A and B are shown apart, each in its own frame.
Chain A
Amino acid sequence: MIEVNRQGEVWVFAEAEGGKLSDVPLELLSKGRELADELAVSLGAVLLGGEKIASLTGDLIARGADKVYVVSDAKLDHYQTAPYSHVICNLIEARKPQIVMYGATPIGRDLAPTVASAAKCGLTADCTDLQIGDHKPPGSDTVHKNLLFQIRPAFGGNIIATIVNYDRWPQMATVREGVMVMPEADESRTGEIVDCEAGLDDVELPLEIIESVRREKKVNLKSARIIVSGGAGVGSKDNFKLIGELARCLGAEVGGSRAAVDLGYVAHDHQVGQTGTTVRPALYIACGISGAVQHCAGMQEAGKILAINTDPDAPIFQAAHMGIVGDMNIVIPKLIKAIRGGASVAQGAAGQGLNHG
C-alpha cells in the first residue's frame, strides 16, 4: 500500500508473451493516455521479460507511453506469478504510481490480484470503462477529487458498478479485452526508457514449467467486420450449422450467446458478451438470441444490429436496428439466397420487383 499521491503516474502493465506485445496493453495505452492527460501526469508502460524484451519499447512509446520501465531478467522470460508480482510491487513501492492498469487476460487476472494482495491495495476486475471523477463517501464531508472510477458489470452483467478506492493506493484495475480502441502507432512520438533492476537474485521460482503450448487463436471476433451469432433459440447443434452457413456466405465470424455456449452449440472461443468477447463489428446478426443484458452489452457498439427471433417481445429487438420476427430456420436460407443473389437483388430492390432473386 502506498499513500495517496497526486503526482503519481498512470501505468499500464505491458503484457508480452513470446516476445510479442499482447493487444490489451496497447488498447490500454489509449485509455491511459486520456487519464494521464486529464490528471496532467506521465503515462508509463511496465515491460517485464527476458533478454529480448527491450525491442518492444518503441511500439509502446509510439502508441502513447511517455516512459517505459523495462525489467529484463532470465527469471522473467516465461510468465509466472511470483517473480512478476515481486518486481511490480517493488516498482510500485519505489515510484508510487497513482493508477495501475492490467489487461483482464488470464495473465492479468492472475498477476493483478497477487500484486493487490501484497501491496494491500484495491483492485477492480474486468472493467469496461475507466474515468476520472470525484467521490464523497456516504456520511462524510470529505470529497476525494480526481479518483479513478472503475466501471464494471456485476451480477452477471445486470448492473453496472462504479468502484473507487480513495485511501489505499495505487488504484488498480484489470480491463476487458476489446473494450478500449487500440491507438494508431505514431512513430514520431518520443519517450524515455528506464531500465530497472529485477531484484530477483534471491527469489526462487515456485513453478517449474514443464510444457507450454500456445495455439493461434482460430476465432477472431474482435476484428471481425461481420459477426453472425446464435443463441438458445437456435434450438440444436444441428440447427446451429445454419449460422455457420450464413457466416460463410458473408465472410463473417461465428459468434454465440452464453446460453448457446452453455448448451454446447458452439465453443467458448465464440462467446460474445460480458463474459465472452466484446465486439464492435460493422454488422452483427443475432439469431435466436433473446438479448440478455450481458450479451447486448458485449455487442451494442456494433454499427448495425440485425435481430432474427420468433418472439416479437424479445429484448434483442430493443438493441437492434433491424429486425425480422420469424423462425431463423426459414429466414436464414432466404437471407443466404438473397446475399448470393447480390447485386441483382440490389438492382431488383432499386427497381420495381422485390421478389427478384
Chain B
Amino acid sequence: MGYNCVVCIKQVPDTKRITGEAMQEDGTVNRAALPAIFNPEDLNALEEALAIRDEHGGTVTAIAMGLPAACEVLRDALCRGADRAILITDRRAAASDTLATSYILSCAIGKLEADIVLCGRQAIDGDTAQVGPQLAEKLSVPVITYLEKLDALDGETITVERNVGNGFEIVRAKLPVLVTVMDTANTPRPPAARRIMKFKKARSRAEIEKVAQDLLMGDYEDYTAELQAGEVEKHCAQLEEKGLLIEQWDLDYLEADLQWCGRGGSPTKVHRIQSVVLKGGEYKEYAPDDSGVNELVASLIKDHTIG
C-alpha cells in the first residue's frame, strides 16, 4: 500500500555564506544580500519521503510557507520528484514565530490527509528545531524527532532509528506520525534533468500576477486592470492543465483563526538585535620560527598554562 507523505520545506538565507557585506551597520542582516536556498535538512526530509514513495507507492506533497519567492524551493522539490507543490502565502502570516507557523502549517496539513509528515530537523536561519514538534502537537499525532534511518513501514506502523545525541533509539509508532529528519539520514537526490525541463515553467498565481503587474507598470498601451486579471486567469488555467500550477493557499482558504497567525499570534517578540562583538584582549605575536615558538611555549610553561 502507498503512503501520503507531506514534506514541509522552507526557503532560507544561506547563513553559512554570511560575509561582511550582508551585515548592516546596526548589526542586522541584510537578507537581500544573501542567496536564498532550500533549507538543507528539508532536502533530507524530501529525500526520505521520495524513498518511501519509491518503495511503497503513494504521493509526496511539498508545502512551503513564505513569500511567493519561496516557489523557488517548491519548483526544486518538483524537479527532485515531488508530485504536488503548495505555497502558503498571506500577508497576515508575516512575522509568525514558530508557534504561529506551526499553527498555520497544521491548518494546511489538516486538508491533506497525510500518513507521514516530514520536516527537516531544523532550519539554518533560526536553528530552533521547534516547528516540527509544535506541528505534531497541533496535529495531535506522535512526533519522532531526529530520524536517522527508517527501519520499516508495515501499513499501520512506522519503525525509526533516531539519533539522541549520545546514542540512538529504535521506536515504533502508529501512523499518522510526524518525523523530523537529520542531515545524516540520507543523501538527497539531485533534480532530474527531464523534470527540470518540465517544472522550470511551474508557477504560482502570485508569480503570474507579479509578471502581469510588471507588464502593466511598463508602457503597455491599453493594458487595463481588467485585461490583466483576465490574462492571469488564462495563464493559470493553462498551467493547471499542464500540471504546472503551484497551488497557492491563503489563510482564508485554510480557515485559520487569525488570532493565532502572524505577529499577533506570536508570543515571542524581538526586544533587540545586536551584532556580535568579540572581546579582544592583550595580543602578542610570535614569529613562526624556532625562537618564536620556544618563547611562546616558555611563557605558557612559566604561567602554568601548560606543563
A and B: bona fide binding partners: yes
Residues of A within 8 A of B (CB): 1, 80-82, 85, 105-107, 109-110, 112-114, 116-118, 120-126, 133, 135, 137, 149-150, 153-168, 206-217, 226, 250, 275, 282-283, 293, 296-297, 300, 303-304, 306, 315, 317-327, 330-331, 334-335, 338-339, 341-343, 345-346, 348-350, 354-357
Cβ of A300: which chain B residues have Cβ within 8 Å of it? 278-279
Q: Tell whether A338 pairs with B166 under 8 Å between CB atoms, given A116-B134, A207-B171, A325-B288.
A: no
Q: Tell whether A165 pairs with B301 under 8 Å between CB atoms, given A207-B173, A208-B171, A209-B169.
A: no
B284 touches A212 (CB 8 A): no
| Shortest Cβ-Cβ A-B pairs, 6 listed | A326-B288, A349-B298, A156-B15, A122-B267, A206-B142, A117-B137
Bound form: Cα–Cα A206–B266 in Å: 29
Bound form: Cα–Cα A209–B133 in Å: 18
| Size class of the B contact interface (CB-based, 8 Å) | 35 or more
For this complex, 27 residue pairs linking A to B, each with C-beta atoms less than 8 Å apart, are A109-B129, A113-B130, A113-B131, A114-B143, A118-B137, A121-B99, A121-B267, A122-B266, A124-B268, A135-B271, A137-B269, A156-B15, A158-B15, A161-B272, A162-B273, A164-B269, A164-B271, A210-B172, A296-B278, A321-B282, A322-B284, A334-B290, A334-B293, A335-B293, A335-B296, A343-B301, A357-B294
Nearest CB in chain A: distance from B176 CB, A: 11
Nearest CB in chain B: distance from A34 CB, A: 19
A345 touches B28 (CB 8 A): no
Interface 9-mer from B60-68, B119-127, B208-216 = B119-127
Q: Tell whether A156 pairs with B18 under 8 Å between CB atoms, given A125-B130, A207-B173, A209-B169.
A: yes
Cβ of A213: which chain B residues have Cβ within 8 Å of it? 167-169
Q: Which of B124, B142, B159 has the most A CB atoms < 10 Å from its CB?
A: B142
Residue B270, interface by CB 8 Å? yes
Nearest CB in chain B: distance from A232 CB, A: 12
Bound form: Cα–Cα A324–B294 in Å: 12
Residue B27, interface by CB 8 Å? yes
Residue B276, interface by CB 8 Å? yes
Residues of B within 8 A of A (CB): 13, 15-16, 18, 22-23, 27-29, 97-99, 102, 124-134, 136-138, 142-146, 159, 163-174, 260, 266-276, 278-302, 305-307
Q: Tell whether A355 pairs with B273 under 8 Å between CB atoms, given A113-B134, A304-B305.
A: no
Bound form: Cα–Cα A156–B278 in Å: 15
B306 touches A339 (CB 8 A): yes
The interface residues of chain A, by DSSP majority, are classed as mixed
B280 touches A153 (CB 8 A): no
Bound form: Cα–Cα A236–B142 in Å: 43
Bound form: Cα–Cα A339–B305 in Å: 12
Cβ of B130: which chain A residues have Cβ within 8 Å of it? 109, 112-113, 116, 123, 125
Bound form: Cα–Cα A149–B268 in Å: 11
Select which of A153, A322, A342 is within 8 A of B276 by beta carbon. A153
Bound form: Cα–Cα A256–B167 in Å: 21
B280 touches A166 (CB 8 A): no
Cβ of A306: which chain B residues have Cβ within 8 Å of it? 296
